[in-house]
Structure 1
């Protein structure tokens, strides 16, 4: 896709956007966002290094990638140093950038068997929660398994970490009903998980992204008013410490395709979303030759999931949320 095409897509998004949400920006077209599946953006506190998941269309082969920013360009992504051997996915950074959490089917102990899960009589690669710790000399230490009840059932997805160490995640557990629900495990994930009371458990809720200060939470799901198979919702903390009613995010954040895996960037109101939105095809189309057909079918907007960036700062301000002082970025950053 050419810069002119991307500008056209952005202009359309802006024209139909709610005043409370900015038009979307496709992240790193052709470099980060490609014709493959890209989800789960995790940006370092200095905004210069991006971790994300890349996979095939079937999402049978997930790998965590890393890219570095230079000016307004992203480097060619590389496989992260702790990934590439197992079914690794959904990276997220602690607010201070010192830990990177992810889920994986890797054995709990060297030489053990991969984690598997079973649902509705079907077995598939399971997931447990792991983290890597930032080393003083750069790079990441060896992955550490999070020992806790949150890994029961081997179906934990999209962790998100608050500044106090509480870990939010989605899972299918005994009290989830038929769908997936959102949970929190306090004490850095070691406490027993608690399901968040967000409403009727007949509704599917996935992929939480918690504000570091715990003032609001974003997630993917369908509360009955989704435009597509899943949309992004936001819920705010109430004065009594509970959660309010989920609100459908307006503007350009949601489309009539799949939106999921929201994550917060280091800037106030910076939101990353995985979206399957695509270019419209109208017939008759300009006749393709071999090269143009290949180029178009492999472009980012071919219906694969890509990473998009939005600004929801006005949504937050309308609910009384103001910027907070973030932790100082760590000097340097792991090479990958």
Structure 2
């Protein structure tokens, strides 16, 4: 895999602002370690998933321990053209506040993340379903609302979106449709991708499992990222024919509302290890994702970037 060092942008959303540490050209296929600024890299840190605020002025990074358990979310803020040092996000950091996998709604008003904090399956609390079954999971999806410069107290999304199984990696299209991964309905430890469209009141009352060819009974299909207009879905999978443990794939919305056969993003993006946690910057320029050598490893993971044109090149 070719590399060109660290990609670091003064602003990934303002090309005119320039780039003092390298720039991904539209025809460039090189994958490189990504950071908004070189000083924010830490070679000992287990980086998980990343997200920019829609205006490009805040960068969120969830980090893990060596066993891939959530530690929390760090935030860097761009002021006067410079990125601040990472600071823990108070609502998702510290004892009882573990969490990760941030996604910020494209209007900038809501921060979604995943957590195994109190209220999950481990302590058997939560909302009871119609059959008296506790509707909470080991990892659940939470949301916090923007209150000025900070985020309000998180709240756990109610059933049926969260369940007694684990849910993770939320991502939303501009129309409010949420996509996420869940182990519900599986007894083999694998996951499927689900979606839910909001009602007129903004609630998610009907959950839909994506069918084939996105979800396959033989594979672990997870970590969805939905395009703003819902036109494509990037996700990771261990289905046969890949280059490593888990590869990134893209499926495109078809004219009948279904999905095209997923296309592997190829050896430019995928390695012999795990590629996961995809996201595309709001300006559509970069595909960000996480690479981990193996699920059990003491080798720190990293966030990588490649030109998002790799997605269009996979279009049938």
Contact 2:263-2:314 within 8 A present in 1 as well: no
* 1:173 match: 184
Q: Does 1:81 align with 2:90?
A: yes
Cα contact 1:203–1:221 (8 A) shared by 2: yes
Alignment of 1:192 with 2:206, yes or no, is: yes
> Residue 328 of structure 1 corresponds to which residue in structure 2?
none
Cα-Cα RMSD: 3.1
Return the index of the structure with the highest Cα Rg: 1
**CA 1:202/1:176 → structure 2, altered by over 3 Å: closer, same or farther?**
farther
Higher strand share: 2
Instruction: Pick closer, same or farther for the CA change 1:107–1:24 going to 2, 3 Å.
Output: same
Question: Which ranges of structure 2 fall in alignment gaps of 5 or more residues?
Answer: 8-26, 127-136
Q: Cα 1:115–1:251, aligned 2, differ >3 Å: closer, same or farther?
A: farther
- Indicate the residue corresponding to 2:31 in structure 1: 23
Q: Tell me if 1:148 matches 2:159.
A: yes
CA contact (8 A) 1:184 1:193 kept: yes
CA shift at 1:317, angstroms? 6.7
Separation of aligned partners in 1, 2:124 and 2:117: 5
Equivalent-residue separation in structure 2 for 1:176 and 1:217 (angstroms): 25
Length-normalised TM-score, structure 2: 0.77
How many angstroms apart in 1 are the aligned matches of 2:242 and 2:235?
Answer: 12
User: How far does residue 20 in structure 1 lie from its aligned partner after superposition?
Assistant: 7.6
Deviations 1:69-119 (A, max 9, x none): 35775322111121113221111111111101011122349xx94869xxx
CA distance in 1, matches of 2:208, 2:293: 33
Deviation at 1:208, TM superposition (A): 0.4
1:126 aligns with 2:122: no
Aligned length: 275
Which residue matches 1:53?
62
State the partner residue of 2:264. 248
Question: Given that residues 42 and 50 in structure 1 are in contact (C-alpha distance below 8 angstroms), is that contact kept between their aligned partners in structure 2?
Answer: yes
For 2:72 and 2:5, the matched residues in 1 are separated by 31
Residue of structure 2 aligned with 1:157, choices 161, 168, 192: 168
Contact 2:5 2:32 in 1 (8 A): no
Change (3 A) 1:128 1:115: farther
